[in-house]
Amino acid sequence: MTVLQIAALAAVALLGGGVVAATDPLRQTLVLGIYGLALTMMFFVFQAPDVALSEIVVSTVGLPVMILLALRKIRQYEKERRNEHEEQG
C-alpha cells in the first residue's frame, strides 16, 4: 500500500466520523460533500477512475442539491406553521 492510499483511507475514516458528528443538518450536508471528495480521492488512488468519476458528481452535486432543497422546504413549512399559530393565538 502506498502513502497516498493510506492517506486517502485515513481521510475517508476521519470525514466519515465528521459527517456523523455534525449535528446541524445544513453543516452535515457540507461535510457530506467533502466526505464525497475524500471518497473520490480514495477510489482514484485505488485505481478505480470510473467509480471516482461517478462519485465526484453524485456526492458533491447530486445528493447535496436534493438535501439542501428538502431542508429549505422544511424551513418554509415550519415558518408557515408558525405564522398560522400566531394568527390563531
Determine the size of the site formed for other proteins (CB under 8 A): 23
CA angle 28, 19, 35 (to 5 degrees): 100
Q: What is the CA radius of gyration of the chain?
A: 18
User: Binding to other proteins by residue 27, rule CB under 8 A?
Assistant: no
Interface with other proteins (CB under 8 A), residue from 14, 17, 27, 72: 72
Instruction: Taking each helix axis as running N to C, give the angle between helix 25-45 and helix 49-57, from 0 to 180 degrees, rounded to the nearest 10.
Output: 160
User: Binding to other proteins by residue 86, rule CB under 8 A?
Assistant: no
Q: How far is the CB of 64 from other proteins (least distance, A)?
A: 11
Q: How far is CA 18 from the centre of its chain?
A: 10
Calpha distance 68→76 (Å, rounded) = 12
User: Which span sits near other proteins by CB under 8 A: 11-19, 27-35, 58-66?
Assistant: 58-66
Contact residues: other proteins, CB under 8 A: 1, 48-50, 52-54, 57-58, 61-62, 65-66, 69-70, 72-73, 76-77, 80-81, 83-84
